[in-house]
Structure 1
Amino acid sequence: MSVLHVVSVSGGKDSDATLFLALNRYPKSRVIPCFADTGNEHDAVYEHLDYLEAALDIKIVRLKANFERQIARKRLFIARDQRTGRDDRGRKLRWSNKSKRRALEALHPTGNPYLDLCMWKGRFPSRKAQFCTQELKRDLLVNFQMDLVDAGHRVVSWQGVRRDESLNRRNAKLFERLNPRLYAYRPLVDWTAQQVFDYLRERRLIPNTLYKQGMSRVGCMPCINANKNEIAQIAARFPGHIQRIAEWERLVCAVSKRGFATFFNKELHTDKGNDQHVHATNCIESVVDYARTTRGGKQYGLFESHIDVSECASAYGLCE
C-alpha cells in the first residue's frame, strides 16, 4: 500500500511553500499537486500554475465543480412550485408566476462553477454562509483524496494553513488523522507571512504577481471578503473583473425568487432597509464607489480615487 502526498495548490504564497516542502521531502511520483478552479480566478493565477509546473517540473491536477444536475432539479422545482403559506417575514413561500418566468428564462448552466453555484443557490455567498469554499474547493479536494483512499492508498493531505491567518485557524493542528487512511499535514502552522516569502525567495521561487498589485491574498478575484483597499485596487487595475461581477449580479438576481442578489454584503444600509434598498447599496457599482472613499464612506480620498496602476503595491513590502 503506497503513501501519496496530495498538496492543495491555490496559486498563493502559502501553497507554493507547502508544495516545495513536499517535493523536497518526497519523490515527485508520490506528490500530487491539486488545484480547485472556482471559475472566479484572475488570469495571473493560471499563469502562476503554469510557472510552477515549468519551474518544478511537475503536473498540477486541475479540478472543477459541475452543477448541471442541481440546476436541472431547481428548474423542475421552480416550475412545479405550488406551496402555500408565508415565511417568518410574512413573504409568500411560493414562486409567483412572474418570478417563475424570469428565473426559468435565465437559469441554465454556464460552465463557470462559481456562477453556476450562485445561480443554483439563488444568492451569493456571505461571511455567515461561505458555501463557496466548501462547494468549489473543499468538497472537490476531499472527494479526490477519498478516491485515492478507496483505490487502496494512504493519503496525506498537505495544507498551507498558518495559525496567524485568522481566528478560525488559530488552533490548527500540525498533523491530524482524519480517517484510518487519510491524514492532514500543515507544515506552515507556526510560520508568519514574512517567513513564507523569505522561504520562497531563498529557493528562487517567484510569488504570484498579484501580491505586487495590491492583493493581500490570492484566490477569488474578487473574494466576498475583500477589504476596502483590495476592492479599490481591483476596480483600478482589473476593471474587467468588476464588469463580470456586475453581469453575474444581473443573472443571479434573475434566478432569485425576490429578484435581489448582490456579490458583496458590506452592510452599507440600515438594518430595516427593504430588499430594493439593500440591493442598491450593496450592488458592485455602489461598493466600488464606497471603496474609493476615505474612512466613513462620505468623502473621496486622493489615494483611493487615484490609484496609479503602473506602480507596485504590496501589503507585504515586496516592492522595496
Structure 2
Amino acid sequence: MNRIAPAAPIAVVSVSGGKDSTATALRAIDEYGHDRCRFVFADTGHEHELTTEYLTDYLPGRLNARIDVVKADFSFEIARKRIYVAEKWPAKLVAGKVGKWVRLGTIEEDDAEPPPPENVYLGAVIGGFVWSPAIRAMSEEEAAEVVARALAVLHPTGIPYLDLCLWKGRFPSRKAQFCTQFLKRHPLDRYTFDLIEKGFRVESWQGVRRDESDARRDAAAREWTPEGWEIVRPIVDWTAQQTVDFVVSRGVKLNPLYSLGCSRVGCMLCINEAKDGIANAARRWPHHINRIREWEWLVGQASKRGFSTLLHHSDGEGGDAEFAFRHCNIDAMVDWSKTTRGGKQYGLLRVAPPPTCSSVYGLCE
C-alpha cells in the first residue's frame, strides 16, 4: 500500500455490518479511493454470528479492502473491581445506603427537590429529578454471601460486552447507555489516535442519518471534534430506503439479517430492542436467548442486588429488584413479545414459525 502524504486526509470508516456504515464505506472509496481509506470494526462480542461473518468473510472482498478489528479489554478494570468488592463491599452492604434525588440536566434554581417517593428502594423520576434508590442494610453474614458470589464470577471472559457488564455490575440501559462509549467509541478513538501518531491527517466518516432519531435530526454533514479530527457524514440527509437502494445498486449484498426480519443490525439483542425484534430473535435464534439468559445470571451474581436484566419495560406496578427481574428477564420479555393488546393475549402471528424471508426494505421481492 502506498504511503499517503501527511497533507492528504484519509477516511476512517467504522463498519458495523449495517446498511448505513456499508453505504458510508462505499461513499468513502468513491471520494478518496482505496489507498486513502481505512475500515475498522469494533467487535463487542454481542453481535449475531451472521453479522460477524458478513464483516469478516464477505464485505472485505466486496470492498476490496481489509477491515481491521478492535476490541475493548476490561481485564484491568475487573481486577480493580475484585479488590474493591473484597475490601469495600462488606462495610457498605452492612451500612446500607440512603436514597437521594439527583438533578437531571439544567434545572431552574427555584425548582425544589420533591419529597422522597413512597418506596425509597425503587427508582423514580419526577420533573428534572431522578431518585437514586436506597439500599437496605444487610447482616454481616448476608454481606459475606454477596461478596463471595460476586468474586466467584468477577473474572475476564474475553467477551467485551459481558466483561463490561461484569465490571459495572449491571447491563446498560436507556438512561445509562455506557455500552457505546466503552465498546465502540473508546476503541475506535484509540485506533484513530494511532493513525494520527503515524503522521496521517484523519477524517472520521460516520454512517449517521438525520431521520434515524430525534437525537440525530440536527446532525451536521461535517464538524470538528475537540480531539482535532473532522467528522464526515456523507449520508446524513438520506432515508433508510435510499441507503438500502444505494448499497444494492453497487452490487453489494446487505447483511443477511435484513432479510430475516431485522430492521436494524448490531447487538443481538440491543438494550433498545423493540417488541417485534425480541419476538423475531426468539423465533429464529433461540440460542441467543439462551446466551442472554446465562449472561443475566452472571451479571446478576456480580451485582449487589443479585439481579440484572438486559431488557427493560415498565408495567407501572413498581416493585423491588427481584420483582423487576421476574418481569424483565429475557424469558419474561420473550413471553411479552408474543402478546398483543397491551400484553393481554398472545398473537397468533407472533408465535407462528417465521417466514423464510422477511424484510421491511423490500429485499424479498
User: What does 1:249-268 correspond to in 2, within 5 Å?
Assistant: 249-268=296-315
- Report the TM-score, using the length of structure 1 for normalisation: 0.96
Residues 296, 180 of structure 1: CA spacing in aligned structure 2 closer, same or farther, 3 A cutoff? Answer: closer
- Corresponding residue for residue 86 of structure 1: 97
Partner SS for 1:207: coil
Residues 282, 91 of structure 1: CA spacing in aligned structure 2 closer, same or farther, 3 A cutoff? Answer: same
Q: Quick check: 1:294–1:300 contact (8 Å CA) kept in 2? A: yes
- Corresponding residue for residue 283 of structure 1: 329
Residues 312, 250 of structure 1: CA spacing in aligned structure 2 closer, same or farther, 3 A cutoff? Answer: same
- Corresponding residue for residue 218 of structure 1: 265
Runs of 5+ unmatched residues, structure 1: none
Is 1:41 paired with 2:47?
Answer: yes
Is 1:182 paired with 2:229?
Answer: yes
- Corresponding residue for residue 311 of structure 1: 356
C-alpha distance after superposition, 1:216-256 (max 9, x if no partner) = 10100111111111100000001000000000000001110
- Corresponding residue for residue 23 of structure 1: 29
Which one is further off, 163-172 or 148-157?
148-157
C-alpha distance after superposition, 1:109-142 (max 9, x if no partner) = 1000000000100000111111111110011112
- Corresponding residue for residue 17 of structure 2: 11
Supply the distance in 1 between the matched residues of 2:341 and 2:159 (Cα, whole angstroms).
35
Partner SS for 1:96: helix
TM-superposed CA distance for 1:56, in Å, is 1.9
**Counterpart residue identity of residue 302, structure 1:** L
Bigger-Rg structure (1/2): 2
Supply the distance in 1 between the matched residues of 2:45 and 2:208 (Cα, whole angstroms).
22
Supply the distance in 2 between the matched residues of 1:251 and 1:183 (Cα, whole angstroms).
40
Supply the distance in 1 between the matched residues of 2:338 and 2:60 (Cα, whole angstroms).
37
Runs of 5+ unmatched residues, structure 2: 1-5, 100-132
Supply the distance in 2 between the matched residues of 1:311 and 1:74 (Cα, whole angstroms).
46
TM-superposed CA distance for 1:281, in Å, is 0.3
Residues 111, 93 of structure 1: CA spacing in aligned structure 2 closer, same or farther, 3 A cutoff? Answer: farther
RMSD across aligned positions (CA)? 1.5
Partner SS for 1:6: strand
**Aligned pair partner of 1:150 in 186, 197, 217:** 197
C-alpha distance after superposition, 1:186-217 (max 9, x if no partner) = 00110001111111121111111000111110
- Report the TM-score, using the length of structure 2 for normalisation: 0.84
Q: Quick check: 1:252–1:261 contact (8 Å CA) kept in 2? A: yes
Supply the distance in 2 between the matched residues of 1:291 and 1:211 (Cα, whole angstroms).
20
Q: Quick check: 1:149–1:181 contact (8 Å CA) kept in 2? A: no
